[in-house]
Amino acid sequence: MQALFGTRTAADINLIAQLLLLAGLLTGFILARRKRFAQHANMQTAMVLLNLALIALFMVPSFYGYVIAGQSVSGPVAQLMIGHGGLGIIVEVIALYLVLLMRTKLIPRQFRLGNIKLAMRTTLALWAVLVLLGIGIYAERYLVQSTAASAPLLEFRQLGADLYVHAVELADAQTRGSLPATKRHAEHLINLIEGAQDPRYGDIDGNGHLEDPGDGIGLLARLDAVAAVGGGPGATEQAATVRDQLDRIVTLALDLIGGQQVQELTPLAEEILTLARQSNVDGVFAIESAARDAGVVQAPSLEVAAQNTGEPLSVTIHEDRYQFIPSQLTIPVGTTVIWVNDEQAKHTASADDGGFDSGDQELSVRYSYTFTEPGTYRYFCRYHGDVGGVGMAGTVIVE
Ligand SMILES: [Cu+2]
C-alpha cells in the first residue's frame, strides 16, 4: 500500500472515487428535494467522511510530494494544486460542520447557521468546482504534453543536441575507417537538418534504409519557427548564421556520401563536427541570448556545453519547466550524461530500475552518470513524474 502513495495509480483511483462521490452528493441532493431527509442525511454524511479518507490517503501525500517536498510553486500543476488544496480544506471543513450540525448536538447554539439550506447548496456547488479543478490537475499532470516542449527554441535545442551526437558518431566512424557507417551518419545529418519536405530527404546513402533520427520536420523548419517567434534583429542575425552552418553541413555530408576512400574524408568529417558544435551550442545560445536581451523570450539560461570538445563525450540534459530537455536522447556507449536543474523546483533523475539516482537536485545542482552498457534507460523525477514515462520522465538510448 505504501508504494501506492503519490503515484499515478493513486491518482487514477482518487479521480474515479471523486467522480463517484460527486454523483453520490448529487443523489443526496435529489433525495432532499423529494423530502427523503433521513436517506439524504445518510448519503451526504457518507460522502463527506469518504472524502476525508481520500484526502488523507491520496491528496495530502500527492500535494506533499509535488508542492512541498518538490518545492514547486510555479507552473500550472503546482498552482492548481495550491488553489485546489486551499479551497478543498475550506469546503471539507464546512461539509463536516454541516454533518455535525445536522446529526449531533455538538455545535453550540451561537455557532448554528440560520439558512442551512443555502449553506448546503453553496457547499455542493463549491464541491463541484473542486472536482473540476481536480480533473484539471490530473489532466495537466498526466495527460497534457507540456506546451513548453513544443516551444520552437526548446525543440530546436533538442534536435540540435541530436545533430551534434550524430556528427560525433560520423567522425568516430570515419576515424575507425568504416565507409558505410560514415555515410549512414551523413544521411542522418541531412535528414535531420532538411526534414521530409526537402526533395533529397530519404535513403541518401543508398543502403536501402531511410534513416532519420529526427521527426521529419527538420532543423531548418525549426529555425524558421524560432525566427518567427521573434527576438529582435540580434536573434534574426544569429539565426541566419546558424542557417549558413546547417546548409554547409548538408553540402559537406553530400560530398561525403559521394566519397570513395574513407581515409580521404577526414577534413569533411572534422568540419562537420566543428559546424555541428557551433550551430548547436554557440548558435542556439546566441539566438537565445539575443531573444532574451530583446525581452521576447524569458527562457532559462542555456549552459554552454563547451566541454564537448574532446574525449570522453558528455551530453547535458536540462531540468526545466518540470521536464527533462531533451527528454529523449540517443548516445554512444561510454557517454557521460549530466543532468542540471535550471529552476527553483527540486528535481531528481532516478532510473526506473534503480540503476542510478541523482538524489535531490536544487537549482543549478548537477548530477552525472556514465552509460557503459548499451540499452534503453528510462528515468523520472521522484517529485514530478513516475516510472513508466509518466509526467516528468525521460529516456536515454545507449547504442
Ligand atoms: Cu521534478
Please calculate the CA angle 192-350-346 and round it to the nearest 5 degrees: 95
Ligand 1: distance of its center to the CA of 109 in Å? 49
Ligand 1: distance of its center to the CA of 72 in Å? 8
* 217 shares a domain with 190: yes
* 335 shares a domain with 267: no
Each residue of 354-395: pLDDT tens digit?
A: 999 999 999 989 999 999 999 999 999 999 998 888 889 999
What is the DSSP code string of 126-179? HHHHHHHHHHHHHIIIIISPPGGGGSHHHHHHHHHHHHHHHHHHHHHHHHHT-H
Domain's final residue, options 299, 324, 347: 299
Q: How many domains does the chain have?
A: 3
* 152 shares a domain with 126: no
Identify the pLDDT of residue 230.
56
pLDDT exceeds 70 at position 304: no
Ligand 1: distance of its center to the CA of 329 in Å? 18
- Reported pTM: 0.59
Identify the pLDDT of residue 289.
66
Identify the pLDDT of residue 199.
83
- Strand, coil or helix: 388: coil
- Strand, coil or helix: 1: coil
Each residue of 115-137: pLDDT tens digit?
A: 889 999 999 999 999 999 999 99
* 107 shares a domain with 93: yes
Identify the pLDDT of residue 148.
41
Residue 340 resides in a domain: yes
Residue 305 resides in a domain: no
Mean pLDDT of 340-351: 93
Residue 380 sits in a domain whose CATH number is: 2.60.40.420
Ligand 1: distance of its center to the CA of 290 in Å? 28
Ligand 1: distance of its center to the CA of 254 in Å? 42
Higher pLDDT, residue 97 or 165: 97
Q: How far apart are CA 297 and CA 282, in angstroms?
A: 17
Domain's final residue, options 299, 329, 356: 299
Strand ranges of the sheet holding 323-325, from the earlier edge strand across to the other edge: 323-325, 314-320, 336-341, 366-370
Identify the pLDDT of residue 318.
85
Each residue of 35-47: pLDDT tens digit?
A: 999 999 999 999 9
Residue 294 resides in a domain: yes
Least confident of 46-60, 89-103, 200-214: 200-214
Domain's final residue, options 276, 299, 322: 299
pLDDT exceeds 70 at position 320: yes
* 158 shares a domain with 295: yes
Each residue of 257-276: pLDDT tens digit?
A: 998 888 889 999 999 999 98
Ligand 1: distance of its center to the CA of 326 in Å? 14
Higher pLDDT, residue 125 or 113: 125
- Give the pLDDT band of residue 8 (cuts 50, 70, 90): confident
* 150 shares a domain with 140: no
- With pLDDT > 70 as the criterion, what percentage of the chain qualifies? 86
Write out the residues surrounding ion ligand 1, Cβ under 5 A.
347, 381, 383-384, 392
Ligand 1: distance of its center to the CA of 84 in Å? 20
- Give the pLDDT band of residue 301 (cuts 50, 70, 90): very low
Cell of 43: 448519503
Ligand 1: distance of its center to the CA of 79 in Å? 15
* 328 shares a domain with 288: no
Closest C-alpha among 381, 303, 301 to residue 346: 381
Higher pLDDT, residue 326 or 102: 102
Are the CB atoms for 232 and 206 separated by under 8 Å? Answer: no
Mean pLDDT of 76-100: 95
**Residue 18 lies in domain:** 2-144
Q: What is the mean pLDDT of the chain?
A: 84
Ligand 1: distance of its center to the CA of 347 in Å? 4
Ligand 1: distance of its center to the CA of 62 in Å? 13
